[in-house]
A and B are shown apart, each in its own frame.
Chain A
Amino acid sequence: MSKRVITLCYRKIIRPNSVLPWDKLVHEDSYMEFKMQAQNFSTGTTYTSYAELTRYIPDAQKLSAMVTPSVSGYVQQLGGIIPDMLNILGRRFLKIKSYQFEIINSDINERDKHVVAIIFFSEPMLWHDTVDNYLLVSPYHAEQEIIEGEEILTDLFQLQPYLNIHAIKNLA
């Protein structure tokens, strides 16, 4: 089977009823920041929801980016590893290359409407094979030559909801 380089993307959704400490902190602080920043657009209007603001005030599209600095410290606390996504041994193993913060829904007056996502993009990985329902992958470094017969360390993991193969490249 020809080797392929893949990048994974995990869209971690954070809701008002999230129970994990990290999720709760992200929810709380991103809501506070949303509330603060949204008032830059809502003042003088009756709009309070993210949907209304982005629909009627084009400039409010910037809100996701304006709220991002409220979660960047929490992403750094993850130590460079994508949360929740486990290999077959039950360990987190996907390295974060970049991330994107997304406001899904929110409202200046209703904390319970605040739902956000952090989309994590992984470092590129070599997809060697598929074993049962599992993908066999190893970290890929473009500059590293693959030496025939040499042992490399691999991870087995299963695709699951909210985890996508975001990009693929076939190696010659």
Chain B
Amino acid sequence: MERKNFLKSLMIGAASGTALIACKKESTSSTDTTTGTTTTTTGGASSSNNCTVAPDETEGPFPTHTPASYVRSDITDGRTGYKLTSKITVVNHNNNCNALSGLLVDIWHCDAEGNYSEYGGSSMQSTNYTAVHFLRGRQTTDTTGTVTFIGIFPGWYSGRATHIHVHVYSASGTSLKVTQIAFPEGTGTSLAAVAGYSKGMTGYTYNKNDGVFSDDTAGIEIATVTGSTTDGFALSINLSVAA
């Protein structure tokens, strides 16, 4: 008996459900013919020109603004290596080298083995929630024009000196500067202390032979790096941009 009633209620549901979908189809096609643009009207929760059919369930959870997962200070993501704290200060070339606050600074570099992370899902793959993009991060410059990242001392790969990529954007996302940070070389430097991790330094490309840094004879792109393998290293550099 109960089963029969249940089936009956299903049939009523089916009939009204069909009507609902038919209505939505009409609205889609009318939009198409009048404006030539398609509007998502699938599933009943999407919208079509002021005609929003909401699902029949309690509203929520309400979406909240969530920054891109690049936005983080600690970019380690479980990569092993000697700790490196990088402080990058952005100053204005057009205004007496005064600090620029509110800029977006992206950095990315390779891990101890010299590999970069992918972004979590290539164009052909789907991605899961936990996809990581290790050693990539974004911060906003503070009132002193500085951003701080915590990661590991980068490794190296064939053909390049050890480096960190930096991309500086205005608050609205306009590119202001794409550059790379080089490391000081020689006895007693962090580079010598890390010594290429397990890879060693055989076949390493030094700054003077590097395709990117070789023209930087004044050493503007070379950061100041202090510290040790036991305490970790601290990198600092000033980047001057025209803003």
Take A89-B56, A158-B17 as given contacts and tell me if A74 and B173 are in contact as well, using a CB distance cutoff of 8 Å: no
Which residues of chain B in 1-45 are interfacial with respect to chain A, using CB atoms and an 8 Å cutoff? 10, 13-14, 17-18, 21, 28, 37-45
Q: Does residue A33 face the partner (Cβ distance < 8 Å to B)?
A: yes
Residue among B43, B106, B167 having the largest count of chain A Cβ atoms under 10 Å = B43
B113-121, B148-156, B190-198, B212-220 - interface stretch: B113-121
A residues 125-156 near B (Cβ < 8 Å) are 131-134, 156
Residue positions of B touching A, CB distance < 8 A: 10, 13-14, 17-18, 21, 28, 37-47, 50, 52, 55-57, 61-70, 104, 106, 118-123, 125-129, 131, 133, 167, 169, 173-175, 178
CB of A100 within 8 A of CB of B125, answer yes
Are A65 and B120 CB-contacts (below 8 A) given A32-B173, A35-B173?
yes
- Distance to closest chain A CB from B53 (angstroms): 10
A43 and B42 form a contact (CB under 8 A) = no
Q: How far is the CA of A121 from the CA of B173 in the complex (A)?
A: 31
Contact in complex: A73, B169 (CB < 8 Å): no
Chain A's closest residue to B122 (CB) is A65
Main SS at interface, chain A: mixed
**Contact between B43 and A86 (Cβ–Cβ < 8 Å)?**
yes
For B173, the chain A residues whose CB sits under 8 A away are 32, 35-36
Q: Quick check: B21 and A158 within 8 Å, CB to CB?
A: yes
Which residues of B have CB within 8 Å of A23? Answer: 46-47
Q: How far is the CB of A123 from chain B (nearest CB, A)?
A: 12
Q: Using A25-B63, A62-B119 as known contacts, say yes or no to A70 and B68 having CB atoms under 8 A apart.
A: yes
Contact bitstring A90-102, B, C-beta under 8 A = 1, else 0: 1110000011110
The residue from A21, A35, A65, A162 contacting B40, defined by CB atoms under 8 A apart: A162
CB-based contact B119/A86 at 8 Å: no
Given contacts A64-B123, A84-B46, contact A69 B178 (CB under 8 A): no
